[in-house]
Structure 1
């Protein structure tokens, strides 16, 4: 799930001790890890080692590489760009597919696969995953961590289960678990956990079934309005539209539970839980509330999804799109006040990590 994914990323980025991402909460090793983490914090303070000394460009690249090998939550494509922004490190979503194309999907955890996080822990944990990636020359082992470098950790690591942490020859796929799609619907990108998409849905074209909120989508699903072949559109759930990007966990869960995940796709400017599976495409940028094309999709429009070729297209003529833009405006923003109103005014698009663009207001 997303929390597990980001806990793993914390360790991969060097900001957590070995085992931080995978030791089960019920094990005594987790209590011991907490004790050691507190001791390590005090040591780092004494040595004046700060987060920006650890979260460097090397660390971000290693994080992205491991992300692809693990097939983490799509939310990592929000959090990693946001972390990079705070660390003053450039992060371009356009480069994600190049990394994905070069990194095999080595670990496939529930719900995409049969293994759970405890299995990864018993297989050697993230240090073992990084050892495998280092053998392939895909990471920089000189990247710093809170307790040395990744080279230090890799030297002590062992891969204890070749089925859980596979080699390149036996990888689930020769490309990574996440992909960024582009097209007229998402000129700035959209994200899909392709490692959790059924083979028959990797390429799909179907009629749009549009909903202007998560609640409306759920009502439509339960009322039987979505049928086999549809592309479910959930809009106005992006950073500005929400405001705040809610997880579309209920719609994706309903689609899977109704047995439609092998014939239906879902696209949204919102985001998903790490538990989501199927052809669930999120983070569409620009979002509907910012005037993105998603706001002008109508029921019955054909939408083409081609995950292997990183494409997401609305199959409507440019003249028709221009006519729709001319005769109507996006849905009026929801009435909010206080911090939510300030957030909506300052938040960036999802492709930038939904960061607050404070520089524009200072």
Structure 2
């Protein structure tokens, strides 16, 4: 394979290194920088004339998805050294999905800010971003795009398949499934304990097509990962080799001056959206794609996402949109390279990737090994893409649904609303076996958006009321201004914007109002006349802010709504360019 134009540009010279501005001059400041490097046991030969590569590591003992990153950083360093660079590890905030409260989404922008400022304030010529658990991928990429130095993303990789009592388990998805059975009284304490121990058997992120697998696939489809990297299971020896290759490649990227803007373009973002739709992606992909694109100055909108979704079938038979398989199976079937090859001319294969080659060149030898896992375009899991965008008087700025993961009978539905103002109120009600509810009711949770949650929590897969569970029902229409775990499924409408906490129309809905969903026409409406809504609007009182201090206060002052990516208003390109590189002046 021959290099693209991106690799033919003039190679950087050692004196043009960004780090040379810290270490090269014969002055007092650089004396201090060199002496402190020597204080750490380094010799001038370690850095003189060599690129310094920052390895931003989101490892934490509280993050099971990234347990292996402490070791993987050493593999990256080895690769950097092999290519003639100096790799230095820098810890960054590690936000896990399992333990972080009230929600990890409250801190995605914190990851992005820390990444941007860490890169800008240190003598780094290139960066390796180590992430995978849901918010780490978009947060790291957002920050690195704003910082503007060459970078490459190292995905954590999915964990191995879960197993218990002869059954294959998928993280998240089967937890929801079996929890409903436990609520129905169908699972014993011993069985529940066995499920707990068998559903997550190795380090690595969720092995369903949850948010983690979705976002690492998106990063690769954008051209930010080595070919096939996002599909490799975390526990596979190939993941170690890939980590070393990442270290070697980032050094070459730096010498080639291959910048983020050469890779993340309108075409590569469209590719990422198309791949996400074909993968059966998490609904969380919407808010992260919008934010990542806007950091690159690309005005991606909900309408763009919906349009690509209408023409891109789901061809990855991976739970929860698929019926059988998990990410380990997807890897054995050929992985993301095979899926992209299968998409054919739905992708722009002329785009440049972090390899310096075009996407097309990286896919030349890709092959599908199991067409039940990675389906051909004429035999999809679902004829349209994973996600659809709705509008209407309940969601004038948009809402999101995952049609492929819900019962088709809910694609057209009309029924009375059962409205809850808080998660606590909802949880108490659905566990009441005497709750007055029918399968036609529409469960509604509000005050769960970016401001109301606070932080936009994953509360959108509202539990089926126990009264209906006992009758054998396992799905019903549910609406909220919250998010939903990527491992979730069901007829859930999410990201209702504007959110109710700031006065969006969802705040005006009352129990008993009739709601109509028309998926084919992308409509979600409450059948309440405008005169009545005006009366309700006049009587609505704005609630008190959730936070009075700290990060939460900053978050609620500056976070945008779901339809704009929930980034901070002052961090996008629309607000203005970042300040100049401070270097050592």
TM interval, short-chain normalised: over 0.9
Distance 2:398 2:368 in 1: 35
Does 2:309 match 1:100?
Answer: yes
Cα displacement (A) at 1:16: 0.9
Change (3 A) 1:197 1:162: same
Please say if residues 447 and 481 of structure 2, whose CA atoms lie closer than 8 Å, have aligned partners that are also in contact. yes
Shift of 1:308: 2.3
Shift of 1:228: 2.1
Please point out which of 111, 120, 132 is paired with 2:330.
Answer: 120
- Give the match for residue 75 of structure 1: 284
Q: Is the 8 A contact 2:291 2:564 kept in 1?
A: yes
**Map of 2:391 onto structure 1:** 182
Partner of 1:196: 405
Pairwise CA distance, 1:257: 6.8
SS at match of 1:85: helix
For residues 36-95 of structure 1, give each alpha carbon's deviation from its aligned partner in whole angstroms, at most 9, with x where no partner exists: 112222221222222222111111000111111111000000111100011111111112
Residue 230 of structure 1 pairs with residue 441 of structure 2: yes
Following superposition, the deviation at residue 319 of structure 1 comes to: 1.0
Counterparts of 1:212-223 in structure 2 under 5 Å? 212-223=421-432
CA contact (8 A) 2:478 2:492 kept: yes
Residue in 2 aligned with 1:36? 245
Instruction: Give ranges in structure 1 of 5+ residues lacking alignment.
Output: none
* Partner SS for 2:444: strand
Question: How many residues matched?
Answer: 359
Q: Tell me, yes or no, if the aligned pair for 2:460 and 2:482 is still in contact at 8 Å.
A: no
1 CA distance for matches of 2:455 and 2:560? 11
Larger Rg belongs to: 2
> Which residue of structure 1 aligns with residue 212 of structure 2?
3
Closer, same or farther in 2 for the Cα pair 1:174/1:212, shift >3 Å? same
Structure 1 residues 267, 146: CA separation in 2 closer, same or farther (over 3 Å shift)? same
When residues 74 and 254 of structure 1 are mapped into structure 2, their CA distance, relative to the original with a 3 A threshold, is: farther
Deviation at 1:323, TM superposition (A): 0.8
Structure 1 Cα separation of the partners of residues 398 and 461 of structure 2: 23
SS of residue paired to 1:284: strand
Which residue does 1:287 correspond to in 2? 499
Q: Mark the CA change 1:206 to 1:121 in structure 2 (over 3 Å): closer, same or farther.
A: same
Separation in structure 1 between the aligned mates of residue 463 and residue 243 of structure 2, nearest angstrom = 35
- Are 2:415 and 2:514, in contact at CA under 8 Å, matched by a contact in 1? yes
Structure 2: which 5+ runs fail to align? 1-209, 577-585
Report the Cα distance in structure 2 between the residues aligned to 1:272 and 1:286, rounded to whole angstroms: 17
Q: Which residue pairs with 2:143 in the alignment?
A: none
TM-score scaled by structure 2?
0.59
Which among 347, 350, 354 is matched to residue 142 of structure 1?
350
2:511 corresponds to: 299
Cα shift at 1:266:
1.2
How far apart in 2 are the matches of 1:260 and 1:248?
A: 20
Instruction: Give, in whole Å, the separation in 1 of the partners of 2:215 and 2:465.
Output: 25
- Offset of 1:212 from its aligned partner? 1.8
Residues 87 and 253 (structure 1), Cα distance of their counterparts in 2 relative to 1, 3 Å cut: farther
After superposing the two structures, state which structure 1 stretch, 337-346 or 226-235, moved more: 226-235
Aligned-residue offset at 1:154: 1.6
- What residue number does 2:73 align with? none
Query: Which residue, 454, 457, 461 being the options, matches 1:246?
Result: 457
Question: Quick one: distance in 1 between partners of 2:416 and 2:456?
Answer: 25
CA RMSD of aligned residues (A): 2.0
Query: What TM-score does the superposition give when structure 1 sets the normalisation length?
Result: 0.93
SS in 1 for 2:370: coil
Distance in 1 of aligned mates of 2:417 and 2:542: 17
Structure 1 position 162, deviation (Å): 1.3
| Structure 1 residue 249: Cα displacement | 6.3
Q: Would you say the 8 A contact 1:102–1:176 is kept in 2? A: yes
CA contact (8 A) 2:280 2:385 kept: yes
3-state SS in 2 of match to 1:155: coil
2:556 maps to which residue? 344
Kindly state the Cα deviation for residue 311 of structure 1 after the two structures are TM-superposed: 1.1
Q: Deviations over 1:307-332 (max 9, x none)?
A: 22211111111111111011222433
Structure 1 ranges of 4+ moved more than 6 A: 253-258, 359-362
Which residue is equivalent to 1:316?
528
Displacement of 1:253: 7.7
Q: Is the 8 A contact 1:204 1:306 kept in 2?
A: yes
What's the CA shift string for 1:240-270, capped at 9, x where partnerless? 22231111166358789775443x2111111
Distance 1:127 1:82 in 2: 25
